[in-house]
Amino acid sequence: MKLSLIGTTMALLLCGAAAATDKAPDEAGAMNLLKASKCMTCHSIDKKKDGPAYTAVAEKYRDDPEAVATLTDWVSNSHPVEIDGAEEDHGVVNTRDAAKINNLVQWLLSH
């Protein structure tokens, strides 16, 4: 009986963990971070500006198993980019809060 109870408890915990990771990203939180970090200066949700549209980013990484790690690195660390023929450093998000960064990455991938 104890083993059955432990097994059931573990199954419920695992289901709860899976449900928590399947939660939709907080769109308002992602947009606030994008605006506070001035990302919308060069990016748009669905139109190319100096940088790619977020829908294009999502499409590029949709089937990439490393997408979360790649995008987390991209928004957290400066990388050189070329804009109008000139190289400059890509900006980073205005936070070091891992949960906010993960929410942003999940939001990006959801488009």
Rounded CA separation 45/34 (Å): 11
pLDDT at position 23 is 85
Rounded CA separation 95/39 (Å): 13
Rounded to an integer, the average pLDDT of 26-41 is 97
Domain extent listing, the chain: 26-109
CATH number for domain 26-109, candidates 3.40.640.10, 1.10.357.10, 1.10.760.10, 1.10.620.20: 1.10.760.10
Supply the pTM of this predicted model: 0.77
Q: What is the pLDDT of residues 94-107, one digit of tens each?
A: 999 999 999 999 99
Q: What is the pLDDT of residues 71-81, one digit of tens each?
A: 999 999 999 99
Tell me the chain's radius of gyration from C-alpha atoms.
18
